[in-house]
Structure 1
């Protein structure tokens, strides 16, 4: 997914400070108790009371009448630096059922959270992540670019992220940004297994080959295909790749919202990206999508509150068996 366009720095700093107040203190966030009811396994609640999202052996589809799952894009990236533990913590505190993050390998083969091919935009360093060692990445400041309060925030490894989710609660939608061969994908899958998170991770990519490699290595992990534009036949593509999720851009889905019903009939969920306004949330909820990827998970959850009592009619079937 494309780099996020951020708010002007003064407003962003104020929002970041507000987020830190909510957490109690940024430095102490990791020591704070996890949220009650955090998802910890297959078929468990997201903890918000809004939607039950099942992972692992079940498809990530929603029950009729439930609002779409809230997926925090790179964490709560409107309130904290993207792809960091701080953004993950704020997203978790907001009640997001899933954290969405990007993974790339360092020069020495260690998976780290990073969207861009280079570290230039989101750290105080320069250069391609593939040319930097894990130690070099760890030395970078990944927070000051966003707001001064996040100075000293580090680029997390995938191991650090998954350990945090495993112990404190939450599920992960992980996007593989680049993998040159199956061995690099294996480095990612190995960490997911070591952290005992296979039932709480979904893997997505724009590159179908990445998904084929994941399927070979870990057929138990659900797969999602990211798309900027809709395929001529999304159902056929989903069946060929054995997808659990077909994840289009919101602008693409708006051109043919009927594809949601078609995918549901084939047993495939639809998580749309990246929607950040009430008008978009409402429109795509009415399309029947199963999940909304957003930079503003807390605001989306607040938007969904009345929908739990009044109910927005769902246009697509849910809860289908695999």
Structure 2
């Protein structure tokens, strides 16, 4: 990681609705990119490592291949976290699927492939886990990525509505497109700074949550978010002092790399 209520008719247990004030099924503890730094980020291997430490919710980064497949990658480029080179979104999935996304981390993960959202959805559903999908567009593809990720999530979780993922992004255009495509999927606005108009934007996007750099949270900001019906999440929280401060503030979600240090509770 560097609103008004929805007009969608309610369904059982809030299914078919999103926005502020609705039931919040997600665990407080969220494993960043699957398992933080213990495994190659955004791979199924990372999800398995995170789960081995007791985590039942994971954050990941989703973008589009050149032929429209939703796959997991944080950076715009492939170079840091795979054997590939150049902009990830410029390559077709047939080429991306052949890359090694594990050896950069350690020899034990050599040969681990890039993950697709479809593969991750199967893992989460089989293991009763939740997912925070950060929509991470290749620059210039914000709306297209938001639409495609939301449509894919809507389809992939259709038979598991009580495990539906949380869609987040720093890019309002991506969240706007996601809302237009799958309004029932909960959304969260990611914030690294409290830029002018952020609350109005969260309302217009009918967000269920705001996900802030952990240093931004204080009692006043928590109160403001709650007064507007928004859940409160923080990233990326890796120090005990920061965790204790956020727990004292009563945050709803803590995204961490340190799955080995913090045992996930309620």
TM-score range, shorter chain: 0.7 to 0.9
| Cα separation, partners in 2 of 1:194 and 1:154, compared to 1, 3 Å | same
Aligned with 1:60 (options 21, 24, 48): 24
Query: Whole-Å Cα distance in 2 between the matches of residues 123 and 55 of structure 1?
Result: 38
Q: Distance in 2 between matches of 1:181 and 1:73?
A: 22
Counterpart check, 1:80 vs 2:39? yes
Judge conservation of contact 1:189–1:217 (CA < 8 Å) in 2. Answer: yes
Q: Kindly indicate whether the alpha-carbon contact (under 8 Å) linking 1:202 and 1:222 is maintained by their aligned counterparts in 2.
A: yes
How far apart in 1 are the matches of 2:118 and 2:31? 19
**CA–CA distance in 2 between the matches of 1:231 and 1:181?**
19
Residue 301 (1) aligns with residue 263 (2): yes
Aligned to 1:192: 153
Correspondence for 1:36 = none
CA RMSD of aligned residues (A): 2.4
Matched, 1:103 2:66: no
CA spacing shift, 1:214–1:224, aligned 2, 3 Å: same
Residues in 1 aligned to 2:107 and 2:232: alpha-carbon distance in whole angstroms:
37
1:168 matched residue in structure 2: 127
1:149 alignment partner, SS class: helix
Instruction: Give the distance between the partners of 2:198 and 2:75, measured in 1 at CA.
Output: 27
How many residue pairs get matched? Answer: 248
Give the 3 Å change call, closer, same or farther, for CA 152–76 of structure 1 in structure 2: same
Give the aligned partner of residue 201 of structure 1: 165
Compute the TM-score of the two structures, normalised by the length of structure 1.
0.71
Residues 276-311 of structure 1, C-alpha deviations (whole Å, 9 max, x = no match): 011110011112211100012342226x6xxx8xxx
Are the counterparts in 1 of residues 146 and 176 from structure 2 also a CA contact under 8 Å? no
Mapped pair 1:222 → 2:186: yes
Structure 2 unpaired stretches of 5+: 3-11
CA distance in 1, matches of 2:241, 2:63: 33
2:145 & 2:197 partners in 1: Cα distance? Answer: 30
- In structure 2, the CA distance between the partners of 1:287 and 1:225, relative to structure 1 (3 Å rule), is same
What SS is found at the alignment partner of 2:50?
A: helix
Shift of 1:262: 1.6
1:8-34 deviation digits (Å, cap 9, x = unpaired): xxxxxxxxxxxxxxxxxxxxxxxxxxx
Q: Per-residue deviation at 1:209?
A: 1.2
Query: Quick one: structure 1 residues 243 and 59, their matched pair in 2 at CA, closer, same or farther if it must change by over 3 Å?
Result: farther
Distance (Å, rounded) in 1 between the aligned partners of 2:71 and 2:131: 14
Tell me, what secondary structure is at the counterpart of 2:261?
helix
The structure whose Rg is larger is 1
In structure 1, what is the Cα distance between the partners aligned to 2:48 and 2:33? 11
Question: In structure 2, the residue corresponding to 1:258 is in which secondary structure?
Answer: helix
Distance change in 2, residues 1:232/1:184 (3 Å): closer
Q: How does 1:239-254 map to 2 (within 5 A)?
A: 239-253=203-217
Once residues 231 and 287 of structure 1 are traced to their aligned partners in structure 2, the CA distance between those partners, rounded to angstroms, is 22
- Contact 2:147–2:174 (Cα < 8 Å) also in 1: no
1:129 pairs with 75, 84, 88, which one? 88
Which residue number corresponds to residue 79 of structure 2?
A: 120
Gaps of 5+ in 1: 3-41, 44-53, 63-67, 309-322
Per-residue CA shift, 1:81-122, capped at 9, x if unaligned?
A: 000001111212222231100001111111110000011000
Change (3 A) 1:101 1:55: farther
**Cα gap change, 1:213 to 1:269, in 2 (>3 Å):** same
Question: Shift of residue 265 of structure 1?
Answer: 2.0
Query: Corresponding residue for 2:200?
Result: 236
